[in-house]
Amino acid sequence: MRTRFASSILCVPALLFAGARYSSGQSARVTASSGPLPGRVVDVKAGEFFFTAPDTITAGLTTFRLLQTGLVVDRMRAGAHGRELVADKGDNTRGAHMLWVVRLDSGKTVTDLYAAAQAGQRMTPWARQMGGPAFILPPATTNATIDLEPGNYALVCYIGSAREDRSRYHFLNGMFRALTVKPAPVRRAISPQVDVVATISGEKIVKFSKPLRAGRVAIRVDNQTDKDLEFKFQRVPVGLTGKAFLAQPQGSGPGTPVGGLSSVPPRTSVITTLNFTAGQYVVGTHASIRHVTSQVVTVAARSPD
């Protein structure tokens, strides 16, 4: 088992809680005209160590919207910054949470999934990852849009799964929730509109179908590899170029998490909707944003209508 998030959270930026604005002067507001997220929106709140979410939803196109509500909120109010925002009790990722949506087949339940995790199994043939939203500093939220079939599902936080200290594994600390997806009265095929397609090739390189523009952008992420990958952005700090940011040692030079996906399963697609301001960003598919495959992306200002 492994965790791909442990190193990336060390890049959480300095932030002061002042009207929910980042220290760089950016806010979590949408910078272009906003509309509804695709499909049915399911709000999920994450804290230590729990999810709050509905018990039952209807099948179909569903957007899971994740809000951090635990330790990180208290630390922001106290003026903490960097890793102090989420580190606690000797664990650098205790207060940071992501969401994985897992489909359970063969009549299995979340109890079976938990038992498998206790036995050291991250995944089993009857548990299939569907994707999910990554971490972002509140009050901003992250989201993942997935087409759900009827059945049993689990909402899980796998952060800490690779730690030798099992007390750091969020799932084993009880961070999971059962979700039942019931049949829809009328099943309609929906093809949600997206603004950009991001294709992850066999080299783990991300290629965008067109340039990114500031504002609200719906991105369909197509994972053409045989590996489960992340998809996430960090804004390059003021005073640095993207190239200089990537050249820094691991764990240094904080960037601003902009959001993304905890998981894009192999040979599948997941949609996420992000809010950008103009500037330079780094996009990556691994735990460390400074992975060799990460790339610098320039987001241009949106032209007035």
Q: Where are the domains of the chain?
A: 8-185+192-299
pLDDT band at 34 (very low <50, low <70, confident <90, very high): low
Q: Which residue has better confidence, 271 or 187?
A: 271
- The answer, yes or no, to whether residue 254 has pLDDT greater than 70, is no
Residue 8 above 80 pLDDT? no
Q: Phi and psi dihedrals of 133, rounded to 5?
A: -80, 150
Provide the pLDDT for residue 112: 97
Tokens read off for 225: 């590899």
Q: What is the four-CA torsion angle of 262, 252, 280, 133, rounded to 10 degrees? A: 10
Q: pLDDT tens-digit profile of 70-116?
A: 999 999 999 998 889 999 998 989 999 999 999 999 999 999 999 99
User: Does 224 score more than 80 pLDDT?
Assistant: yes
Residue 78, burial from CB neighbour count under 10 angstroms (0-12, 13-18, 19+): exposed
What pLDDT sits at residue 26? 31
pLDDT > 90? residue 288 = no
For residue 201, pLDDT over 70 is answered with: yes
Give the pLDDT of residue 241.
92
pLDDT at 121: 84
Question: In terms of CATH, what superfamily is 8-185+192-299?
Answer: Cupredoxins -  blue copper proteins (2.60.40.420)
11: burial class by Cβ within 10 Å (0-12, 13-18, 19+)?
A: buried
